Amino acid sequence: MCGGRKFTGGKTVCATIALLLCVTASAHVGSPDVFFQGNAGPYPLLVTIRPPDVIPGVARIEVRSLSPGVEKIELTPTPMTGIAATHPPIADMAQRVAGDAQSFEGALWLMSVGSWEVHIRASGAKGAGELPVPVASVALRMRPMSKGVSYFLFGMMAFLTLGMVAIVGAGVRDAQLDPGVTAQRWSRKTIVAMVCASAILIAALWEGNAWWSSDAATYTQRIYKPLGIAASLQQPDLLQFQITDPGWLRLRRLDDLIPDHGHLMHLFLVRWPAMDRIAHLHPEQTATGFFETRLPSLPSGTYRVYGDIVHESGFAETAVGEVTLPGVEGKPVSGDDAEGPTVFDSGYRMAWVHDESKTVAAKQVALFSFAITGPDGKPLNDLEPYMGMGGHAEFIKEDGSVFAHVHPTGSVPMASVAVASPAAMIAMHETSVGPVVSFPYGVPTPGRYKIFVQLKRAGKVVTGAFDLTVT
């Protein structure tokens, strides 16, 4: 039995890997920030949205115009679907960054868990245009109260409680005295009143603490828990797996998946810990939550499994798991499937086009550019669109705490863009590819990463692998 469904034949290894140790959000593991590149009318924009890790919370937004002429940036958050999506609040104005006429910063409140979109409206000499950017709003943790604040609040509680008891005692003691009569310091009636007041206040504080604990427990249940993958190898090359739900929101479903780039799931198998082999596959759904796919030839070892899916609300997430495989003798990949790194013909290779003197810093968006070069070392200008994009890239940290699937438009799945704005999705569909393909992304934490890149040439998808050290 594996994840509630029986798989027959073959040696089975089923586990949900310990990626829960890292912060997980949306369609990325350990990489909650959103990076998106698109056009707001005549203005090409590069947008970075840093969602809050507690909900409600404030999302930080950075907008850079890739062309001059933008005079004003307005920001508006709305749920992606539902009646509230048609009644946006008043827009917030982004502020221009000092010393950089093309960069703007702003902040917006995200009030609830779910699929949101931030409408970026740019205005300037060329007119105005709007770019919707999907954002997954999830609570990732509980922020503990600082010791200083807790000590202060406890002191205030004790002070107010003792003060209230003293006021009750004084009131009972002095309320019925005639003028000029000196009250007894501690009458029996006064003591009884003060004891009763203390009991009532202690009961109120106890009830308040119970309410606080219950509210904290409810919030804890709303902290995002990623889907799991329980996988097993059935036939020599047939991988079957089930998406398992650890329980997050009662509204989460698995029968509402929508295609992204024409596929219900993008599945990645990465051999661990070497990260020397990757397969980018597109399994078929056999039942709600159950999938299967034929594997290409893969060396034996333990593989971390990442499955990207998008719900009909536009909410995207990545299911995570682990499977141990013997040496697999499968058929060569075809269609949109890819595996690698690819062994190129002599003189050809995939190259990372960048200034090696510049370092990549954490939390700073950058363009990661790649090309296929010929024997003369120059980029080839015959690349083809791959699933409607110039290419696909996966950023994976060596400790497994980060996995991000990125496109030339950024980290947002196209299916989410389609839910937010079908017109925007169509406009981003690439029909031609230049010699260099760039991916906007900001690495979340320092450390060592592996970048896998899939590009398409002569009808074949090829995969490159690159090492990245982030300061």
| Residue for token pair 């009909």 | 312
Query: Do 258 and 214 reside in the same domain of the chain?
Result: no
Query: Do 164 and 113 reside in the same domain of the chain?
Result: no
Domain that holds residue 176: 147-222
What the block records as the tokens of 94 is 């982004």
Last residue of a domain, one of 137, 168, 201: 137
Please, what's the largest Cα pairwise distance for the chain?
A: 110
* CA–CA separation, 329 and 86 (whole Å): 53
* pLDDT, position 20: 38
Query: Do 156 and 245 reside in the same domain of the chain?
Result: no
* pLDDT, position 449: 96
Query: Do 373 and 395 reside in the same domain of the chain?
Result: yes
DSSP at 41: T
| Cα–Cα distances in angstroms (integers) from residue 228 to residues 27, 246, 248, 397, in the given order | 13, 7, 12, 19
Beta partners for 319?
A: 307
* CA–CA separation, 96 and 70 (whole Å): 10
In sequence order, what DSSP letters do the residues of 125-178 get, joined into one string? TTEEEEEEEEEEE-B--PPPPPHHHHHHHHHHHHHHHHHHHHHHHHHHHHTTPP
* CA–CA separation, 187 and 172 (whole Å): 9
Is pTM beyond 0.85? Reply is no
Per-residue pLDDT in tens (0 to 9) along the chain, 471 residues: 333 333 333 333 333 333 333 444 455 788 999 999 999 999 999 999 999 988 889 999 999 999 999 999 999 999 988 888 888 899 999 999 999 999 999 999 998 888 899 999 999 999 999 999 999 888 888 778 888 888 999 899 999 999 998 898 888 877 776 776 666 667 788 888 889 999 999 999 999 889 888 888 877 777 888 899 999 998 899 999 999 988 877 768 899 999 999 999 999 999 999 999 999 999 999 999 999 999 999 999 999 999 999 999 899 999 999 999 999 999 999 999 999 999 998 899 999 999 888 889 999 999 999 999 999 999 999 999 999 899 999 999 999 999 999 999 999 999 888 888 777 777 676 767 889 999 999 999 999 999 999 999 999 999 999 999 998
What the block records as the tokens of 458 is 């002569």
CB atoms within 10 A of CB 320: 23
Q: Please tell me whether the peptide bond between 246 and the residue prior to it is cis, using omega within 30 degrees of 0.
A: no
Phi, psi of 156, deg, nearest 5: -65, -40
* CA–CA separation, 53 and 35 (whole Å): 17
Tell me if 9 is assigned to some domain. Answer: no
Query: Do 177 and 259 reside in the same domain of the chain?
Result: no
Residue 186: enclosing H or E segment and its boundaries? Answer: none
Q: Please tell me whether the peptide bond between 56 and the residue prior to it is cis, using omega within 30 degrees of 0.
A: yes
Residue 405: enclosing H or E segment and its boundaries? Answer: strand 403-406
* pLDDT, position 285: 96
Residue 193: enclosing H or E segment and its boundaries? Answer: helix 188-222
SS3 content of the chain, % helix, strand, coil (to 5): 20, 40, 40
* pLDDT, position 357: 80
* pLDDT, position 41: 92
Tell me if 374 is assigned to some domain. Answer: yes
Tell me if 458 is assigned to some domain. Answer: yes
Tell me if 462 is assigned to some domain. Answer: yes
Chain Cα centroid distance, residue 330: 33
Tell me if 338 is assigned to some domain. Answer: yes
Q: What is the 3-state secondary structure (H, E, C) of 276-337?
A: CCEEEECCEEEECCEEEEECCCECCEEEEEEEEEEECCCCEEEEEEEEEECCECCCCCCCCC
What the block records as the tokens of 66 is 């890739």
Last residue of a domain, one of 112, 137, 162: 137
Tell me if 42 is assigned to some domain. Answer: yes
Written as one letter, the residue type at 22 is: C
* pLDDT, position 384: 94
Tell me if 50 is assigned to some domain. Answer: yes
* pLDDT, position 191: 86
Query: Do 171 and 66 reside in the same domain of the chain?
Result: no
Query: Do 254 and 267 reside in the same domain of the chain?
Result: yes
Query: Do 310 and 201 reside in the same domain of the chain?
Result: no
* pLDDT, position 340: 93
Beta partners for 310?
A: 316
Count up the domains in the chain and report the number. Answer: 3
Tell me if 7 is assigned to some domain. Answer: no
What the block records as the tokens of 337 is 């499937």
The CATH number covering residue 333 comes to 2.60.40.1930
CA angle 60, 34, 106 (to 5 degrees): 20
Q: Using alpha carbons only, how large is the chain's radius of gyration in Å? A: 29
Last residue of a domain, one of 201, 222, 243: 222
CB atoms within 10 A of CB 165: 18
Query: Do 212 and 242 reside in the same domain of the chain?
Result: no
Query: Do 318 and 436 reside in the same domain of the chain?
Result: yes
What the block records as the tokens of 73 is 């940036």
CB 245 within 8 A of CB 277: no
Query: Do 321 and 232 reside in the same domain of the chain?
Result: yes
CB 321 within 8 A of CB 15: yes
| Cα–Cα distances in angstroms (integers) from residue 422 to residues 13, 158, 264, 418, 428, in the given order | 41, 58, 18, 4, 10
Query: Do 209 and 73 reside in the same domain of the chain?
Result: no
